[in-house]
Amino acid sequence: MTRHQGSCHCGAIRLELRETPVDGAECNCSLCRRSGAFWHHCLPEVVTVTGEATGYIQGDCMLTNWHCGTCGMNTHWTAPQDPSYDRMAVNLRMFDPSLWAHLPRRQIDGASF
């Protein structure tokens, strides 16, 4: 099985992704345009997060945005408040650029939601 290892800058949070992305997404919502995250959306079952991330829930949004409390890197988001929503995303920038730098970029118009 393919296993890609990523981490925040200080290494407190580690991400394992067990699939290989074919593209990535940039979102213009008020959170993502600040963090500059390059998202890979996936099923939660292909990701393992290790370490204590800090969650941030934006207003009425059902997503929790996670970051490292030490180095501040925006590592992933989950939708724990809605168990029927089986998606999450990892920030590909936490992984080696050889995994994602060449990928096509999808633009998500999150600002309009």
Tell me which residues touch Zn ion (CB under 5 A). 8, 10, 12, 68, 70-71
Q: CA torsion angle for 82, 91, 48, 71 (degrees, to 10)?
A: -110
Tell me the C-alpha distance between 105 and 53, whole Å: 26
For Zn ion, give the closer residue by CB, 13 or 25.
Answer: 13
For Zn ion, give the closer residue by CB, 11 or 80.
Answer: 11
CB of 26 to Zn ion, least distance (A): 22
For Zn ion, give the closer residue by CB, 36 or 111.
Answer: 36
Tell me the C-alpha distance between 55 and 63, whole Å: 10
Chain residue whose CB lies nearest Zn ion: 68
CB of 25 to Zn ion, least distance (A): 23
List Cα–Cα distances, 66 to 32, 94, 101, in angstroms. 12, 13, 22
CB of 23 to Zn ion, least distance (A): 26
81: burial class by Cβ within 10 Å (0-12, 13-18, 19+)? exposed
CB of 107 to Zn ion, least distance (A): 28
For Zn ion, give the closer residue by CB, 68 or 111.
Answer: 68
